[in-house]
Amino acid sequence: MTADTDIIKIENLNIWFQMRQGFLKDVISKKLRYAKAVDGISFNIKKGEIFCLVGESGCGKTTTGKGILRLVEPTSGSIIFADDDSDPVIKRLLHLAGEKSRKREGTAIVEMEGRRGIDIRKLTKSEMIYARQRIQMIFQDPYESLNPKMTIFDIIAEPLIVNKLSKNEKDKEARVIKALNDAGLRPPEFYMWRYPHQVSGGQRQRVGIAGALVLSPSLLVADEPISMLDVSIRGEILKLMLDLRENKRLSYLFITHDLSVAYVFSDRIGVMYLGRIVEMGPTEMVIKNPKHPYTQALITVVPKPDPTAKEEKIILKGERPDPTNIPPGCRFHPRCPYILTLCNVLQPGETEAETGHWAACHLLTPDFVIKWNTENLPKYEKIAADVEKKNTAEIDKLRKELAKLRSDLATLKSAKVKKDRQEAIKAIEKNIQKLDTEMAKAKAHVEKMKAEIVTMKAKLPSASRPLSP
């Protein structure tokens, strides 16, 4: 295997959760509601690479990580794992995956860049055991992910027992000691027989890492491995993970909400928003030259350890969006400061801004925006004209009514009837106002589209090249 080969390739992965809407509704209604936690994401991780998924909580980054290990079952898409096929576990897995099984259609082998890859989604439960020996996970909270009633030895030895990997007690112990050593818990004998509560937070996280290392994986999914740790020991864990990459050629899927950690630790970043990757590229490029408005905002709000830094923060309004109700068009448009008309309607494609760095935003394809706006302008103009025609007619009618009511008012004597009339007048006035604003809105829409064409034209001679508008 050379340095540039992919160890895992995820294509168009969807993980949807069905929403309960109450028993009867579930039975009767034909339309099921889904929470689309992960909604069509694709990425690849190269051998020995650290790929980082960042985003707010609820954007689907953890679900993606779990989906790769099939700890949650993906709805559709493919996860192709292609490790070194001289490895006996992979050999065995390739052999099993190539065979027919009642539980799947065809084989689980996929050709990838001339190598044989395994589609994780097509593996049966018993085959997954082999795959999980090579893909392991490190969990976020070292205070909750370790069983308090087991010694550290038992915790780390458990994967060996589950996978029936240790030949005898001596072999098991040797493997545990090696894993502890690799995770930097030295001397291993000192830690082995302790319970999790007897060691500190940083050491607990090392235990979690040792538990993953004992099966000698080639890909580690690290879900916020340092967010629960004290600042002074975060660096230690990151260093350990870097060392492991050097010594064991591990690849990482690193999941974090902290952009500054992603910046110093990863090779490539994917920024997730509401189940989709909106920007992806080499870390340096994404952080120093962000293209998507969401990434730009996210970078400005990261607290900086510098009291003299005076930078305008782009604080997005609103709370985190709801994956059960994904907005049409660009899913970021309700919070976007630069929203264009077509953002409401059309989902943006991925546009490459620099080599290997793309973002999904209409602003990057001014030529396409101009084209779309020019094409759709007549449609919106017609809508505006229709609204104007209809509303003017209505307003005329209402005005007549109003005049009649007003003239009535002068002749009436009874206080109660007078009051009724006054209220009716108020209601009609309100109605007229509503129709007026409706008309103004439709007109403003057209004006905005025209203005957009002008501003986009100014941007036109840009180097950006639309990949898939």
- Could you say whether residue 257 binds other proteins (CB under 8 A)? yes
The residue among 86 and 308 lying less far from other proteins, judged by its C-beta, is 308
Query: How far apart are CB 148 and other proteins at their closest, in Å?
Result: 19
Among 56, 388, 394, 401, binds other proteins (CB under 8 A): 56
Considering only 3, 315, 415, 458, the residue that binds other proteins (CB under 8 A) is 315
Q: Is the preceding peptide bond at 196 cis, omega within 30 degrees of 0? A: no
Residue nearer to other proteins on the CB measure, 245 or 443: 245
Binding status of residue 306 toward other proteins by CB under 8 A: yes
Instruction: Please report whether residue 186 would count as binding other proteins according to CB under 8 A.
Output: no
Match 């209505």 to its residue by tokens: 394
User: How far is residue 416 from each of residues 406, 419, 421, measured CA to CA in Å?
Assistant: 15, 5, 9
Task: Centre a 10 Å sphere on the Cβ of residue 330 and count the other Cβ atoms it contains.
Answer: 27
98, 235, 337, 356: which one binds other proteins (CB under 8 A)? 235
Q: Under the criterion CB under 8 A, does residue 313 sit at the interface with other proteins?
A: yes
What is the DSSP track for 418-450?
Answer: HHHHHHHHHHHHHHHHHHHHHHHHHHHHHHHHH
Would you count residue 169 as binding other proteins (CB under 8 A)?
A: no
For the segment 187-206, give every residue that binds other proteins (CB under 8 A): 200, 202
Give the shortest CB-291-to-other proteins separation in angstroms: 16
Kindly list the strands in the beta sheet with 76-81, ordered across the sheet, starting from the edge strand earlier in the chain: 34-46, 6-18, 76-81, 115-119, 109-112
User: How many of the other CB atoms lie within 10 Å of CB of 233?
Assistant: 16
Q: Which is nearer to other proteins, 160 or 238 (CB)?
A: 238
* Helix (H), strand (E) at residue 152: helix 152-162
Asked if 305 touches other proteins (CB under 8 A), the answer is yes
Q: Which of 287, 330, 346, 363 binds other proteins (CB under 8 A)?
A: 287
Rule CB under 8 A: choose which of 130, 139, 254, 263 binds other proteins. 263
CB 65 within 8 A of CB 255: yes
Secondary structure (3-state) at 131: helix
Q: Does 325 bind other proteins (CB under 8 A)?
A: no
Q: Which of 12, 57, 126, 198 is the binder for other proteins (CB under 8 A)? A: 57
Query: What's the closest the beta carbon of residue 152 comes to other proteins, in angstroms?
Result: 17
Q: Is 327 helix (H, G, I), strand (E, B) or coil?
A: coil
Does 128 participate in binding other proteins (rule CB under 8 A)? no
Interaction of residue 261 with other proteins, rule CB under 8 A = yes
How far apart (Å, rounded) are the C-alpha atoms in residues 251 and 7? Answer: 8
Determine, following the binding rule CB under 8 A, whether residue 299 of this chain makes contact with other proteins. Answer: yes
Residue type, position 112, single letter = M
- Residue 254 contacts residue 50 (beta carbons within 8 Å): yes
Closer to other proteins by CB, 143 or 193: give it.
143
The answer to the question of residue 236 lying near other proteins (CB under 8 A) is: yes
Which member of 144, 230, 396, 423 binds other proteins (CB under 8 A)? Answer: 230
Treating both helix axes as pointing N-terminal to C-terminal, what angle do 169-182 and 231-248 enclose, rounded to 10 degrees? 120
State whether residue 94 is helix, strand or coil: helix
Q: Of residues 304, 390, 419, 465, which one binds other proteins by CB under 8 A?
A: 304
Q: Is 258 helix (H, G, I), strand (E, B) or coil?
A: coil
Bridge partners for 418 per DSSP = none
CA 264 from chain center: how many Å? 20
CB of 219 to other proteins, least distance (A): 22
Q: Please say which residue, 287 or 360, places its beta carbon nearer to other proteins.
A: 287
Q: Does the protein bind other proteins through residue 309 (CB under 8 A)?
A: yes
Choose which of 174, 301, 385, 451 interacts with other proteins (CB under 8 A).
301
Q: Is the dihedral angle over the CA atoms 413, 417, 423, 427 positive or is it negative?
A: negative
Q: Give the helix ranges, DSSP H, for 214-282.
A: 231-248, 259-265
Contact 64, 42 (CB under 8 A): no
In the complex, which residues of this chain contact other proteins (CB under 8 A)? 56-57, 200, 202, 230-236, 238-239, 242, 257-261, 263-265, 283-284, 287, 297-299, 301-309, 311, 313, 315-316, 319-320
